[in-house]
Homo-oligomer: A and B are copies of this chain.
Amino acid sequence: MSMDRLIEKIIKLNNPTVVGLDPKLEFIPDFIKEQAFSEHGVNLTGAAQAVLMFNKGLIDSLHDIVPAVKPQAAYYEMLGYEGVKVLYQTQKYAHQKGMYIITDGKRNDIGATMQAYAAAHLGTISLLKEHEAFIADSLTVNGYLGTDGIEPLLDIAKKYDKSIFVLVKTSNPSSGELQDLKLENGLSVYEQMGKMCERWGKELPGRYGYSGVGAVVGATYPEQITTLREQLPGTFFLIPGYGAQGASAKDVAKAFDSNGIGGIVNSSRAIMCAYKKEKCDEQDFAGAARREAIRMRGELMLSL
């Protein structure tokens, strides 16, 4: 089962980290942008090629110590279809290097249309033979539309050995505006969403006790993580908010069970831009990313 594969990679590398590939242009070293723009022009194609070079450098440097990458679809869409092509090429490269790929798309729609998203990101398209539109082991999704927006994903996940992560409690400052409101049944909206994840997960059981339906739970709300870990014993967590957004290793530790599993912690900017913080030669951006990933791994492992 797909979430089992992720957990096994985490155990093997002794590292519950996923690197967010959110390549804002300002994060990319100048020497890469200069090369890409001089070869392809100062346009969306050039920018997309810079992103691809940057991502490949990061993946080369990280794939033997970090189990997973999480490309954020928005930053690829921002560069138009050339950017979306680079999303695919990045996924393909990470896949070849053996990394688990979580496409952060937060997709959501009604049943018939969700089938199309599920096929696009986790399945294949039949035209004489099977074609892949994108490549991922997992997709983040938004459950506001209820079960028939999720079922098509479960079907595809079963067939192709994939997983999903449903937004439960997000890491941003205003996440509570809707998510924290109390329902008449005594649960908050995010707790209700968590409960739905546990229910959906029953269709994708895993051997470590965690189903193929994970939950996105922001580390910036450590109290809520603690409660959710108790309420959702069968749900694996994808945890944004560590580092740049302010959460500590102690905060994220609350997402883990007594065996030290239960979640994977995202770091995007701190790893992508480690060369800026280190003030090293920007040519060494990938080395700096690796040093930060090792530092983070150590910090996380100490706190679990």
Which A residues are within 8 Å of any B CB, using their own CB?
Answer: 22, 24, 42-44, 46-47, 72, 74-75, 77-81, 83-85, 87-88, 106-111, 113-114, 116-117, 119-121, 125, 127-128, 131-134, 142-149, 167, 170-179, 181-185, 189, 192-193, 196, 240
Contacts and interface: CB of A to CB of B under 8 A. Distances in A.
Taking the full assembly, how many copies of this chain does it contain? Answer: 2
A83 B81 CA distance: 9
3 closest Cβ pairs, A-B complex: A146-B174, A146-B177, A80-B133
Contact of A47 (B127, B142, B173): B127
B145 A170 contact: yes
A167 B145 contact: yes
A42 B120 CA distance: 17
B145 A110 contact: no
B146 A178 contact: yes
B189 A174 contact: no
Contacts of A85: 81
A51 to B, nearest CB: 12
Nearest to A180: B146
B175 A146 contact: yes
